[in-house]
């Protein structure tokens, strides 16, 4: 299981959105380029970069993200407000190993088909679900689609991976669990990357025991020093045995 350090960027700063609220970010006292170098030095195998300003149509951090990609010696996946084929291709030309599509994946299925056909292995889709239904526009708009239905559809389109965020679990809603993540992972043949589920090393251990969880995106726990990246990677690399699933 791959641990993807998550660097969320707004106005050139590393931030975290409290319960997804753009108007109330936690701002960290480290710049994104330094954070990326530190994660790579600690053994990160991938980086996950999100331009939050693009998500909320409030400018962009393209030059900064491009600089991180150029500097990195590990693959980088890029997310945040990517809505057109030309934007996808521009990021791939800039050196991104994978482009992550969010809202547009729900609203423009033709784009997913075209992008996957033109760039096999380079397109991932992010599904953010609340009460089982996919949310778009930065978690502000509820759709009529369940996370599982979308995941099955995207798999048929040929996406390389699904990044799944259970918003209820992320926001620590009452009675939330990893049940939705487990169900989607069990239904897919392509890799599932879990997001927003890690607050401790125990959470990584639990995810690691689930079938078909290829990775976990985590930012809050790393930036708040709740987990150590080297320890997280070590748990992710532990060999699974059949007995663990019995």
Determine how β-strand 133-136 pairs with β-strand 141-146: antiparallel
Q: Is 8 one of the annotated active-site residues of the chain? A: yes
Q: Is 29 one of the annotated active-site residues of the chain? A: no
Kindly report, residue by residue over 64-80, the tens digit of the pLDDT: 999 999 999 999 999 99
* Residues 185-199, mean pLDDT to the nearest whole number: 91
Distance (Å, whole) CA 29 – CA 210: 34
- Of 125, 179, 177, 118, the C-alpha closest to 152 is 125
Kindly report, residue by residue over 85-102, the tens digit of the pLDDT: 999 999 999 999 999 999
Say whether pLDDT at 46 is over 80. yes
Q: How confident is the model at residue 211 (pLDDT cuts 50, 70, 90)?
A: confident
Say whether pLDDT at 178 is over 60. yes
Distance (Å, whole) CA 41 – CA 44: 7
Mean of the per-residue pLDDT values of the chain: 90
Domain that holds residue 165: 2-245
Q: What is the CATH number of the domain that holds 230?
A: 3.20.20.70
Q: Which helix (H) or strand (E) holds 34?
A: helix 32-41
Total domains, the chain: 1
Say whether pLDDT at 24 is over 80. no
Say whether pLDDT at 19 is over 90. no
* Residues facing residue 142 across a β-bridge: 135
Q: Tell me the backbone φ, ψ of residue 66, rounded to 5 degrees.
A: -60, -40
Kindly report, residue by residue over 99-154, the tens digit of the pLDDT: 999 989 888 989 999 999 999 999 999 999 888 888 887 777 888 889 899 999 99
Which region among 5-9, 47-51, 176-180, 215-219 has the lowest average model confidence (pLDDT)? 176-180
Count other Cβ atoms within 10 Å, centred on residue 89: 15
* Residues 34-50, mean pLDDT to the nearest whole number: 98
- Of 122, 128, 129, the C-alpha closest to 159 is 122
Residue 105 · residue 99 · CB < 8 Å = no
* Residues 3-11, mean pLDDT to the nearest whole number: 97
Q: Residues 6, 51, 53, 128: which is the catalytic one?
A: 128
* Residues 155-159, mean pLDDT to the nearest whole number: 95
In a 10 Å sphere around its CB, with 0-12 CB exposed, 13-18 middle and 19+ buried, how is residue 234 labelled?
Answer: middle
Q: Residues 6, 8, 51, 203: which is the catalytic one?
A: 8
* Residues 176-181, mean pLDDT to the nearest whole number: 74
- State CA 93 to chain mean position distance: 21
Cα dist from 147 to 129, 162, 178, 227, whole Å = 6, 10, 14, 28
Q: How confident is the model at residue 183 (pLDDT cuts 50, 70, 90)?
A: confident
SS3 state at 14: strand
Say whether pLDDT at 242 is over 60. no
Sequence-separated (6 or more) residues with CB below 8 Å from residue 149? none
Distance (Å, whole) CA 117 – CA 121: 9
């Amino acid at each position: 299981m791959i641990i993807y350090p998550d660097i969320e960027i707004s106005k050139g700063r590393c931030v975290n959105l409290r319960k997804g609220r753009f108007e109330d970010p936690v701002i960290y006292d480290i710049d994104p380029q330094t954070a990326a170098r530190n994660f790579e030095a600690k053994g990160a195998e991938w980086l996950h970069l999100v331009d939050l300003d693009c998500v909320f149509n409030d400018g962009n951090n393209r030059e900064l993200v491009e600089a991180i990609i150029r500097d990195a010696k590990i693959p980088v996946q890029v997310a945040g407000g990517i809505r057109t084929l030309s934007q996808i291709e521009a990021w791939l030309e800039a050196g991104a190993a994978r482009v992550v599509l969010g809202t547009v994946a729900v609203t423009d299925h033709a784009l997913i088909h075209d992008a996957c056909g033109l760039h096999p292995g380079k397109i991932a889709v992010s599904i953010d679900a609340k009460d089982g239904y996919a949310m778009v526009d930065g978690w502000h708009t509820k759709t009529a689609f369940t996370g599982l239905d979308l995941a099955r559809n995207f798999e048929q389109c040929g996406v390389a991976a699904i990044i799944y965020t259970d918003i209820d679990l992320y926001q620590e809603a009452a009675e939330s669990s990893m049940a939705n993540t487990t169900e989607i992972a069990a239904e897919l043949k392509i890799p599932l990357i879990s997001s927003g589920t890690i607050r401790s090393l125990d959470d990584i251990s639990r995810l690691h025991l689930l079938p078909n969880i290829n990775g976990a995106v985590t930012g809050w726990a790393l930036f708040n020093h709740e987990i150590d990246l080297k320890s997280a990677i070590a748990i992710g690399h532990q060999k699974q045995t059949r007995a663990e699933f019995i």
